[in-house]
């Protein structure tokens, strides 16, 4: 038993190390080729990378034996119970409770509050986003029950996003678009995916490939609408002439903070991860034992999986903080000070691709997509398609920031491309493509991308960090939808040619 467990773990560790290699390569290349210095604290950085690899291996193993099974089991039980009210209530609470404690959202909300000198209240912003995600997951579950095509909902959502944009204050638009990319946490994504797939598998006439995916897409879309409406209300009640932008403080906090490793810090980080996971566990326990009134099957195995997820995610975050974030954020800041904008674009592209390949949430979705499609969707190819989309998005977002063009023009054109490709892409790939936009900006990508955006906005004359500093995450969420549908179109052509 122990020998078999060690064998499985060594395989997971090998895979996670391979996934991290692109980040190490990108950071090393730009550090030596352009910064032209050997990184300080090379030994702690190397240790951090090893810890990240171990954490990622534990996390993936925990998903497979804990989170995925319980999510699918709950969906099956709700389908059997036949209560629409309790299913939608569960879906709403899962979305709300996990989002309100999402670390990436807390970080973005705090930065927005600081930059706007308190005009944007961090707590109310988080409540707004959490409500939007709760409504999104409930609406997504209802769509699966009704059997409606997902693209009707998504396209209607795009129309609402664009319509509200023309009424929203400029200071809120970039933040609203970014909020759609930071709502789905590393733990929430696999659970929500399992819920959608389990629900579609339990209802006659539903296809897990076509109907099971898409909940994450809803959770990425609705915050853009809610936050823009929130901005309209906030800025109509406040005098914008009193706005004081604390750019220097925020940029320094985003790019020069140092992580001091100690036993207490590790415990605090572990407690932070537990707090992130605890709302999910409480919601699951409440509905499992008080509403469904059924014990959890293989409880000890599920608990082991959840513990592995918590320990793995904690190790992953600690490793990032001591290994990759300090050097990555330093490079991002130094790049923004260079006069050569092409280096900035190249760094944005490279770091976007590398960090996305190591995103745990994306790995979870790719695993599920491969399993449900019975191997017809290749995990590696899907993740590569998503990573290319993120890379293009961040590079184009950097270009937009350098030129000072309005953000929403780019986003609108991107939506048009998504709409066009929706009608050409195979039906089975469309929901996965929509979901891919919400899983790309999580634990690894958000801090580095936020630092790059704020750094550019601070160092380029005429840019306002509140208006221009946000938005890169939105680009990183939009373009994967295009590249994944492109991957589906190409794969379909190849399959048809082989059959001919």
User: In this structure, which long-range contacts are made by residues 2-11, counting pairs with CB atoms below 8 Å and at least 24 apart in sequence?
Assistant: 8/61, 9/57, 9/58, 9/61
Per DSSP, the residues of 151-211 read HHHHHHHHHHHHHHHTTS-HHHHHHHHHHTTSSS-TTHHHHHHHHHHHHHHHSTT--HHHH
Cα separation of 163 and 141, whole Å?
25
Residue-level pLDDT at 39: 67
pLDDT given at position 252: 44
Distance CA 47, CA 32 (A): 20
- Determine the pLDDT at residue 239: 54
How many Å apart are CA 129 and CA 99, to the nearest integer? 7
pLDDT at 453: 80
pLDDT tens readout for residues 68-112: 888 888 888 887 877 888 889 999 998 888 787 666 677 678 777
How do residues 22-62 score in pLDDT, each as one tens digit? 878 887 888 888 777 776 677 777 888 888 888 888 888 88
Per 3-state DSSP, the chain is made up of helix, strand and coil in percentages (nearest 5) of 80, 0, 20
Parts of the chain with a pLDDT under 50: 240-258
Residue 417 CB partners (closer than 8 Å, separation 6+): 482
Predicted pLDDT at 245: 40
pTM for this one? 0.79
Q: What is the pLDDT of residue 253?
A: 46
Per-residue buried b or exposed e for 224-249, using 16+ beta carbons within 10 Å of the residue's own CB: bbbbbbbbeebbeeeeeeebebebee
- Residue 285's closest CA among 294, 276, 275? 294
Q: What angle do CA 53, 431, 183 make, to 5 degrees?
A: 55
Q: What is the pLDDT of residue 395?
A: 93
Q: Judge residue 191's burial from the number of C-beta atoms within 10 Å of its C-beta, 0-12 exposed, 13-18 middle, 19 or more buried.
A: buried
């Amino acid at each position: 038993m122990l020998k078999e467990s060690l064998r499985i773990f060594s395989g997971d560790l090998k895979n996670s190390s391979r996934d991290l290699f692109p980040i190490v390569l990108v950071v090393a290349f730009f550090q030596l080729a352009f910064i032209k210095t050997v990184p300080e604290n090379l030994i702690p950085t190397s240790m951090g990378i090893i810890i990240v690899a171990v954490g990622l291996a534990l996390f993936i193993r925990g998903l497979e034996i804990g989170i995925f099974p319980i999510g699918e089991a709950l969906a099956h039980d709700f389908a059997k119970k036949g209560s629409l009210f309790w299913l939608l209530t569960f879906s709403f609470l899962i979305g709300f409770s996990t989002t309100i404690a999402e670390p990436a959202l807390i970080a973005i909300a705090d930065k927005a509050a600081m930059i706007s000198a308190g005009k944007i209240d961090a707590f109310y912003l988080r409540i707004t986003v959490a409500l939007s995600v709760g409504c999104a997951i409930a609406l997504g579950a209802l769509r699966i029950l009704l059997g409606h095509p997902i693209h009707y909902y998504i396209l209607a959502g795009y129309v609402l996003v664009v319509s509200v944009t023309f009424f929203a204050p400029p200071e809120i638009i970039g933040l609203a678009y970014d909020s759609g990319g930071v709502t789905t946490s590393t733990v929430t994504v696999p659970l929500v995916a399992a819920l959608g797939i389990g629900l579609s598998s339990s209802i006659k006439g539903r296809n897990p490939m076509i109907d099971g995916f898409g909940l994450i897409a809803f959770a990425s879309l609705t915050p853009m609408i809610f936050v823009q409406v929130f901005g309209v209300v906030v800025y109509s009640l406040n005098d914008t002439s009193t706005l004081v932008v604390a750019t220097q403080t925020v940029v320094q906090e985003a790019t020069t903070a140092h992580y001091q490793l100690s036993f207490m810090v590790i415990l605090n980080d572990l407690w932070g991860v537990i707090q992130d996971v605890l709302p999910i566990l409480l919601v699951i326990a409440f509905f499992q034992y008080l509403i469904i009134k059924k014990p959890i099957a293989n409880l000890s195995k599920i608990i082991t999986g959840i513990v592995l997820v918590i320990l793995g995610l904690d190790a992953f975050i600690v490793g990032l903080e001591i290994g990759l974030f300090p050097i990555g954020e330093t490079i991002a800041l130094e790049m923004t000070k260079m006069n050569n904008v092409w280096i900035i674009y190249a760094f944005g592209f490279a770091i976007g691709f590398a960090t996305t390949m190591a995103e745990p949430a994306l790995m979870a979705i790719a695993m599920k997509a491969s399993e449900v499609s019975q191997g017809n969707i290749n995990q590696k190819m899907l993740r590569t398609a998503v990573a290319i989309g993120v890379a293009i998005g961040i590079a184009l977002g950097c270009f937009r920031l350098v030129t000072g063009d309005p953000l929403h023009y780019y986003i609108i054109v991107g939506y048009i491309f998504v709409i066009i490709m929706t009608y050409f892409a195979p039906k089975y790939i469309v929901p996965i493509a929509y979901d891919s936009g919400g899983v790309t900006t999580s634990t690894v990508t958000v801090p580095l991308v936020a630092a790059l955006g704020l750094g550019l906005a601070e160092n380029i004359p005429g840019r306002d960090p509140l208006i221009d500093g946000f938005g890169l995450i939105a680009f990183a969420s939009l373009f994967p939808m295009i590249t994944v549908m492109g991957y589906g179109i190409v794969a379909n052509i190849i399959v048809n040619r082989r059959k001919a």
